[in-house]
């Protein structure tokens, strides 16, 4: 039981990192991206390739993954400079589709559809971290670091610039803000931090393939942010925990037929989202009204 809960804890922590980093651009800069799984995947493949071919040291894997994702994020930042709102959602969707094709076809690096198997566990100063207990501590510490970094950024002048752009790009421009630079920087930071989760995910699972980085995953991460509370520090973590605990919790309800749990879960997701948007559009942690960005802890 303990190992099961710890395993769930690891996944919640990693997805919370993804949700927190998406929230950084979505909640504070108003950049609604449906391509976050791309950076998750880039981090995973980059980290896995390094671990398989060079070193499984966390000090090699993670920085490499961050660099690769940061470089790729410039592809997303380019449309972000030119379009906003629903147009950017469409542009990010395009990047997601493109990336899935690359993940599935670039066999030399990603292993193609078959994926990469036998990824070694992450190594910290000679100690291999793979048991759910030790990995849970690692993922929790990483989550804390990511939350601290984003919190620091959001509360800095950079964060205020982000919020200014989110609330009114024209007004921010009129006040002399370099919108292109701020938007690009925010996307690069978000992608690089998301890649940390990707590289740890690859090391923990020891197998990755394209199925973990498809549009469904991007939608799931976005749902975590929205359900938890967009523009809040705690909301994405709550959202990640809720959406990952729910399937496991349902499987413990012995009166539900095992074969129907998946369908019941889908119905609950749908109902939950609809009810939440009607009564708490700001998410669980956010305010009752849709005042995103006002409720950060």
Partner 1 sequence: MNTFRLCIVVAGLHLATAFPSQAADHQIGALFPLSGPNATYGDIFMSGADLAVDHINADELLSGELSLRYEDSQALPQRAVVGMTKLVNVDQVPYVLSAFTGVSKAISTLAQRNQVVAVNGGGVGPDLAQLGEYFWNVIPLANLEVRGLVPYLVEEEGLKNVVLIYVDDPLGQAIRTELETELPTVGGTLVDALSVPTTAQQFSGIAAKVRAAEPDAVYIASYGAQQLQIVKQLRDNGVDAQLVTYSGYSVSEALALPESEGLIYTTQSVDYDSDDPVTKRFVDDYTAKYGRAPTAYNVNYYNAVRLFGLLAHALEDKGQAVTGANLLAERMATDSFDLVGGTVSFQDDGTLVAPIQINIVTDGAGQPVATVDVAD
Within a 10 A sphere around the Cβ of 228, how many other Cβ atoms? 28
Gap between the Cα atoms of 96 and 77, Å rounded: 13
- Number of residues near partner 1 (by CB under 8 A): 37
Q: Using the rule CB under 8 A, which residue among 94, 133, 247, 272 binds partner 1?
A: 247
Report CA dihedral (244, 44, 85, 228) to the nearest 10 degrees.
20
DSSP string, 140-151: HHHHHHHHHHHH
Confirm or reject binding of residue 261 to partner 1 (CB under 8 A): yes
User: Any contact of residue 258 with partner 1 (CB under 8 A)?
Assistant: yes
Among 94, 133, 248, 281, binds partner 1 (CB under 8 A): 248
In degrees and rounded to multiples of 5, residue 279 shows phi and psi of -100, -30
Q: Which of 27, 41, 132, 286 binds partner 1 (CB under 8 A)?
A: 132
User: Does the footprint of partner 1 cover residue 43 (CB under 8 A)?
Assistant: no
* Residue 212 beta carbon to partner 1: minimum distance, rounded to whole angstroms: 6
Give the end-to-end CA distance of the chain in Å, rounded to a whole number. Answer: 33
Kindly indicate which of the ranges 39-47, 50-58, 257-265, 289-297 contains the residues binding partner 1, using the contact rule CB under 8 A. 257-265
State yes or no: residue 209 binds partner 1 (CB under 8 A): yes
Q: How many CB atoms lie within 10 A of CB 200?
A: 27
Check residue 270 for interaction with partner 1 (CB under 8 A): no
Residue 266 sits in the site that holds partner 1 (CB under 8 A) = yes
Whole-number minimum distance, CB 248 to partner 1, in Å?
7
The reply on whether position 212 binds partner 1 by CB under 8 A is yes
Q: How far is the CB of 159 from partner 1 (least distance, A)?
A: 32
Q: Which of 26, 18, 37 is nearest to 215 (CA)?
A: 37
β strands within the chain, DSSP E: 116-117, 122-124, 127-129, 207-208
Q: Does residue 38 bind partner 1 (CB under 8 A)?
A: no
User: Among 87, 105, 168, 271, which residue sits at the site for partner 1 (rule: CB under 8 A)?
Assistant: 105
Report the distance separating Cα 17 and Cα 270, nearest Å. 24
Residue 281 touching partner 1 (CB under 8 A): no
Q: How far is it, in rounded angstroms, from Cα 117 to Cα 39?
A: 20
Where on the chain is the footprint of partner 1 (CB under 8 A)?
1-4, 7-8, 11, 101, 104-105, 107, 112-115, 117-118, 130, 132, 205-209, 211-212, 247-248, 251, 258-263, 265-266
């Amino acid at each position: 039981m303990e190992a099961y809960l710890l395993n769930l804890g690891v996944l919640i922590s990693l997805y919370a990192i993804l949700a927190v980093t998406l929230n950084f651009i979505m909640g504070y800069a108003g950049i609604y991206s449906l391509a976050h799984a791309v950076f998750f995947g880039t981090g995973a493949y980059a980290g896995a390739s390094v671990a398989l071919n060079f070193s499984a040291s966390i000090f090699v894997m993670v920085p490499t993954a961050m660099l690769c994702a940061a470089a790729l994020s410039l592809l997303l930042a380019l449309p972000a400079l030119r379009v906003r709102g629903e147009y950017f959602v469409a542009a990010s969707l395009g990047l997601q589709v493109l990336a899935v094709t690359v993940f599935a076809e670039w066999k030399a690096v990603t292993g193609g559809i078959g994926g990469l198997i036998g990824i070694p566990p992450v190594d910290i100063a000679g100690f291999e971290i793979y048991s759910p207990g030790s990995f849970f501590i690692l993922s929790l510490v990483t989550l804390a670091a990511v939350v601290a970094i984003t919190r620091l950024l959001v509360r800095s002048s950079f964060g205020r610039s982000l919020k200014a752009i989110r609330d009114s790009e024209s007004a921010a421009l009129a006040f002399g803000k370099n919108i292109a630079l701020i938007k690009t920087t925010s996307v690069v930071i978000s992608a690089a931090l998301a890649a940390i989760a990707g590289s740890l995910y690859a090391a923990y699972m020891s197998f990755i393939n394209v199925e973990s980085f498809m549009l469904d995953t991007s939608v799931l991460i976005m749902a975590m942010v929205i359900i938890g509370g967009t523009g809040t520090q705690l909301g994405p973590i709550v959202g990640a925990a809720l959406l990952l605990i729910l399937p496991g919790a349902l499987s413990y309800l012995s009166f539900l037929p095992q074969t129907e749990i998946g369908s019941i879960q889908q119905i609950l997701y749908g109902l939950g989202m609809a009810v939440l948007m009607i009564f708490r559009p700001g998410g669980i942690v956010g305010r009752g009204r849709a005042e995103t960005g006002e409720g950060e802890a």
